[in-house]
A = this chain, B = another copy of it.
Amino acid sequence: MIAELISVGTELLLGNILNTNAQYLSRELAELGITVQRQSTIGDNPARLAEWVQSAKSRCDILIFTGGLGPTADDLTKETVAACYGDTLQFDPEEWAKITGFFARTGRAATPNNRKQAMVPVNGRKIPNSCGTAPGVWFEQNGKIAVLMPGVPHEMKTMWSKTVRPWLMQHSNCTLVSTTLHILGGESAIENAVGPLLEAENPTAAIYCKTGECEIRITARAATVEEGEEMCRTSAAKFYEILGDAIYDENVPSLEHTLVQLLNEKQLTLATAESCTGGLIAQRITAVPGASAVFGYGFVTYWEAAKAKLVGVDPAVIAQYNVVSAPVVAQMALGARAAADADLAVAVTGIAGPTGGDEQRPVGTVYLAAADRSNAYVMHINISRNNREVVRQRAAGYALEMVWRLAKGLPLNGCTALSAAQAAEPAALQALAEACAVPVAARRF
């Protein structure tokens, strides 16, 4: 099945809005086995739109529209497409009641223009909109389909997943089951490691990448949900065999969600002490609903004096080893844990740039420590991107990963331990500094 996406809206052509709908729908359609051959964005011009729809209709099986369902006079998408699919529109009292009800609840009155939004196809179907006023529409003529959805992303996504996707699956008479694996590491390294598995036809596996981590989405087409789930499990097992514990979770929004859930399960609390990340780690943790069950204290110790005062770093250790050093980050983590009386703590100090680097500590130099009641585990890395935002984001990602591994009882590869009892002992700090003198190579991938 061949599809084209058509986004309607002058605001897109002016660059006022970023078109995220096209990416979302393209991913979804790829998963349904529907090939997207073209994405277009056009303005609210009925003549050009009609011409475009006629030619696109001849090229492909399904046209998917977003936008152009608004109440204003220039929103003529629905009328235009109806004509191209041999359909007409009629007034739907039920939709009108929804629209007037919506306005009444927000203390306003619907205008005559809004009646346009209550027009639905005579032959085709209306698609319920549970988040807004304008229903979507589905036209069909000689096996060719046109689907019109709102342009507002959350309205569109809800309409898609609740109604349009299930209808398309009925249409193709199959069941789809998906599982997403979340993996720590960079895209090209992961792709190299699992390359052939990404070529599979059913289940398919597609890789998507974000800063410091990737997702692999496995999708099986099957006769039943049970069969599809089994196929996904078999495929996932092959990825686990290669990637091991680099796969930190399945079907979660983010690493911090996984961490907060793990800490919850293990009844562990966490504190943070941040220098170069400046609150980013705490912010990511507290972005998770319910984080307050495991997180109570975060220290942003941007100045040396703050490191001494809030988390008990010894100023002499800063003077001897530099504030960006293994002994300092170890004392930050152990001190934050103690100051918060938490079970675990994580700390980071480094040079985010753009200035402040030198030959010994170039921009991107970062020291991290994760601590429990017995030890601090310290890692020295170089995030070799001369970009403040990237250095901070990746440092926060490493920090979350280290705590996750510590809480889960996984080995902390590349880390050197300092016992809490020896945190003030010069010989132990010297040994730690020496062991961490060279940054560790990129982790696992």
Contact segment of A114-122, A144-152, A291-299, A432-440: A291-299
> How far does the Cβ of A218 sit from chain B's closest Cβ, in whole Å?
15
- Chain B residues, Cβ within 8 Å of A104: none
Q: Which of chain B's residues has its CB closest to A389's CB?
A: B287
User: Which single residue of chain B is at the shortest CB-CB distance from A43?
Assistant: B37
Question: Is residue A97 contacting chain B, with contact meaning CB distance below 8 A?
Answer: no
Binds B, one of A14-22, A162-170, A375-383, A417-425: A14-22
Distance of A24 Cα from B39 Cα, bound (Å): 17
Chain B nearest Cβ from A63, distance in angstroms: 14
In chain A between 276 and 323, which residues have their CB closer than 8 angstroms to a CB of chain B? 276-283, 285-287, 289-292, 295-303, 305-306, 309-310
In the bound complex, do residue A289 and residue B15 qualify as a contact, i.e. CB atoms below 8 Å apart?
no
- A281 contacts B279, C-beta separation under 8 Å: yes
Is A264 an interface position by the 8 A CB rule?
A: no
**A389 CA / B287 CA spacing, docked (Å):** 7
Say if the beta carbon of A337 comes within 8 Å of chain B. no
Interface residue A388 (Cβ < 8 Å from any Cβ of B): yes
Q: Is B14's CB under 8 angstroms from A37's CB?
A: no
Residue among A17, A25, A274, A278 with max Cβ neighbours from chain B (10 Å):
A278
Q: Flag if B38 contacts A40 (CB, 8 Å).
A: yes
Given A303-B296, A306-B296: A289 touches B39 (CB 8 Å cut-off): no
Using Cβ atoms and an 8 Å threshold, which residues of chain B touch A14?
26-27, 30, 36, 206
A18 CB contact (under 8 Å) in B15, B23, B29, B300: B23
Chain B residues with CB under 8 Å of A43's CB are 37
User: Does A442 sit within 8 A of B, measured CB to CB?
Assistant: no
- B296–A282 touching, CB < 8 Å: no
Report which of B23, B42, B276 forms a contact with A19, defined as CB distance below 8 A: B23
Task: Give CA–CA (A301, B299) in the complex, Å.
Answer: 9
**Is A354 a contact of B289 with CB atoms below 8 Å?**
yes
A198 CB to closest chain B CB (Å) equals 11
Least CB distance from A335 to B in Å reads 13
A353: Cβ under 8 A from any B Cβ = yes
Q: Using A15-B24, A18-B23, A303-B297 as known contacts, say yes or no to A279 and B286 having CB atoms under 8 A apart.
A: yes
User: Which residues on B sit within 8 Å (CB–CB) of A388?
Assistant: 287, 289
Contact of A279 among B27, B282, B290 (CB under 8 A): B282
Q: Tell me, rounded to whole Å, the shortest Cβ–Cβ distance linking A20 to chain B.
A: 6
Which chain B positions have C-beta within 8 A of A285? 278
Nearest to A17 among chain B residues (CB) is B23
In this complex, which of A20, A29, A302, A309 has the most chain B Cβ atoms within 10 angstroms of its Cβ?
A302
Is there an interface contact between A301 and B297, defined as CB atoms closer than 8 Å? yes
**Alpha-carbon gap, A434 to B207, bound state (A):** 55
Can you list 6 A-B pairs with a CB-CB distance of less than 8 A?
A: A13-B36, A15-B26, A286-B302, A290-B355, A296-B306, A297-B303
Which residues of A does B touch, CB under 8 Å?
A: 12-20, 22-30, 35-43, 48, 206-208, 272, 274, 276-283, 285-287, 289-292, 295-303, 305-306, 309-310, 340, 353-355, 388-389, 392
9 shortest interchain CB distances as A-B pairs: A278-B286, A298-B300, A15-B26, A279-B282, A15-B27, A279-B279, A296-B303, A279-B283, A39-B41
